[in-house]
Structure 1
Amino acid sequence: MTTRREFITKTAFAASLLPFSTYAFQNGFFEETDDVLDVNIFSKHLQFLDYKNTGEMAAEIGFSGVDLTVRPKGHVLPELVKTDLPKAVKAITASGINCNMMTTSIESVNNALDIDILQTAASENISFYRTNWFKYKEDLNMQDSLLFYQDEIKKLSNLNEKLGLIGCYQNHAGLSVGASYWEIQKILETANPKHFGAQYDIRHAMVEGGNSWENGLQLLHNNIKVIVLKDFKWGQVNGKWEPINVPIGEGMVNFDKYFKLLKKQNLKPPVSLHLEYDLGGAEKGESNITVDKKVVFDAMRSDLKKVQQLWKNA
């Protein structure tokens, strides 16, 4: 019998001989493409594994690729990017899956280390990256802060064009730039739209937007390059109401409606799957976790299966 990993490796090679094969394989070439999402596991949750085992486990579970953390305390440390990123990509793709996506702390073309990361990523055929979250400037009002970051993103998008990369800014609950859809829309205003857009996070959109998340999706849908999937519900912790992260389908995110709206807009971007609920420290990117590894792997397998079912049924 052929193992799933062997099947992936062989079919990936076979697909490379076909026209447009890379795109086709990553998006479910051997299945009905409309019914399958390109889901990448956020490597933050596998930082207790080395590169080789990360790739092998992601492939075994059924992910199409890895969203690799290239940032402080990540799988690849920024200061070691020139040597370690090629090693990571080679080890992960050896399992027959892709490594087309990375999550970074990149902020500016004026940062030499940020440039090193982007240039190395381009040389390793990584397509998408997420930037750091911007903080509002203490010496500027909110409007001027947004204009400052708008210019930073414009410069990054111009560099991305030269390198063949696509940058993304994630909407994120809290007080940083981008908790509001309108902040995202503003900082993307002058960017090259082919090389910089949004990493749309439905969990954070619902936390901050409540019932208006549909307006946010409508506002940003032309800018969406990558989506993040995770779930939450409101609950009390030590007497204080706050969002509590839960497995996919167990919380307040209306995935059926969300996926129907994506399909209506003809949107099927690559996915980064996040597991932020309690997994013995894996949810926080710990290198030493307090639960059996199987607990983490089973959670990933369950969330991935649920995502694909929800997408197919929407």
Structure 2
Amino acid sequence: MATRRDFVTKTAKAACFLPFGTIPLHNLKSFYPDSTLDINIFSKHLQFLDYKTTGEMAAEMGFSGVDLTVRPDGHVLPELVKTDLPKAIEAIKASGTKCKMITTSIESIDNVLDVDILKAASLEQIEYYRTNWFKYHENSSMPDSLLIYQNEVKKLGNLNEELGLIGCYQNHAGVSVGASYWEIQKILETVNPAYFGTQYDIRHAMVEGGYSWENGLELLHSKIKVIVLKDFKWDKVNGKWEAINVPIGEGMVDFTKYFKLLKHYQLKPPVSLHLEYDLGGAEKGNREISVDKKVVFDAMKRDLKKVQQLWKEA
């Protein structure tokens, strides 16, 4: 009988043989007879709902699944993962949708809670998980810190192989490890790519990469397991330039070019949709929000519809 580990291995090996860079962009639509993306709603923005209602609303709004937060202040708390993750998955599935990815604070196999989360996720047939963001060590050089995290990622990958999971590290704007695509490349250098890759975030890539984001995508495309979608624009706040989050299609992310390039690389990874713009606290993961729930749900449906439209047209 095939195991989850066998499935993960075969899928990754098959992906390695895809002929990248040989297909004209205008001929790519024939490779995608299904014109929709597999879009999962990030449950951070639904933490004012219980497990059952989260699943029900995800299904009602048209999402293919839920990217469940399993971290401090998340839908499932790490210390309760053994009891609460099964409850959450059962409730979500019973509501007519699925949960194949989780967002965590995992950093090391030396952390008992981190291992508990991975084991619980494996038992619940979760396919993907996102780790925490690594911080540079104050007493180590930046290159040495990257080597330390490279080793942590390698060990996580080894455990993922045993459990049939795929780990993901998100590129994220700022000063943590992974703002630069070269940092991502370095920490993934020695891990088995079948069991650990990147959760590629185009919003953060464009904030940090400016015009060079295409280079970052070219460098990392073979390591992409999941993608995050959201949008932003630069604006002044109290006289200071800041990256302001906005609804999909209203900002500076060039989704047309991005989606064309994903198709160029023959990539159609599962999506985690994030809504980081003002939604009465839902954007921050608040348990209580200051707007009517319908405001949040309508925003989610608009962004979902826009993403599918942009993908189809690319």
User: 1:26 matched to which residue of 2?
Assistant: none
Give 3-state SS (helix, strand or coil) of 1:35's partner. coil
Give 3-state SS (helix, strand or coil) of 1:99's partner. coil
Percentage of matched positions with identical amino acids: 79
Give 3-state SS (helix, strand or coil) of 2:135's partner. coil
User: 2:20 matched to which residue of 1?
Assistant: none
Tell me how far 1:95 sits from its aligned partner.
1.7
Q: In structure 2, what residue type is equivalent to 1:98?
A: K
Give 3-state SS (helix, strand or coil) of 2:200's partner. strand
User: 2:228 matched to which residue of 1?
Assistant: 228
Aligned pair 1:43/2:43, yes or no? yes
User: 1:215 matched to which residue of 2?
Assistant: 215
User: 2:132 matched to which residue of 1?
Assistant: 132
Structure scoring higher RCO (CA < 8 A, sep ≥ 6) equals 2
Tell me how far 1:212 sits from its aligned partner.
0.4
Instruction: Tell me, in whole angstroms, the C-alpha distance in 2 between the residues paired with 1:74 and 1:285.
Output: 8
User: 1:42-98 CA deviation, whole Å, 9 max, x = no partner?
Assistant: 000000000000000000000000000000000000000000000000000112211
Instruction: Tell me, in whole angstroms, the C-alpha distance in 1 between the residues paired with 2:98 and 2:266.
Output: 23
Instruction: Tell me, in whole angstroms, the C-alpha distance in 2 between the residues paired with 1:126 and 1:154.
Output: 20
Instruction: Tell me, in whole angstroms, the C-alpha distance in 2 between the residues paired with 1:272 and 1:162.
Output: 25
For structure 1, the 5+ residue unaligned runs are: 1-22, 24-31
Alignment of 1:1-314 (within 5 A): 33-314=33-314
Give 3-state SS (helix, strand or coil) of 2:177's partner. coil
CA gap 1:107/1:33 in 2 versus in 1, 3 angstroms: farther
Count matched residues. Answer: 284
Q: In structure 2, what residue type is equivalent to 1:201?
A: D
User: 2:28 matched to which residue of 1?
Assistant: none
Q: In structure 2, what residue type is equivalent to 1:257?
A: K
Tell me how far 1:33 sits from its aligned partner.
5.0
Tell me how far 1:34 sits from its aligned partner.
3.1
- Runs of 4+ displaced beyond 6 Å: none
Q: TM-score, normalised by structure 2?
A: 0.90
User: 1:104-128 CA deviation, whole Å, 9 max, x = no partner?
Assistant: 0000000010000000000000000
Instruction: Tell me, in whole angstroms, the C-alpha distance in 2 between the residues paired with 1:112 and 1:232.
Output: 37
Q: TM-score, normalised by structure 1?
A: 0.90
User: 2:26 matched to which residue of 1?
Assistant: none
Instruction: Tell me, in whole angstroms, the C-alpha distance in 2 between the residues paired with 1:174 and 1:91.
Output: 36
User: 1:168-188 CA deviation, whole Å, 9 max, x = no partner?
Assistant: 000000000000000000000
Q: In structure 2, what residue type is equivalent to 1:253?
A: V
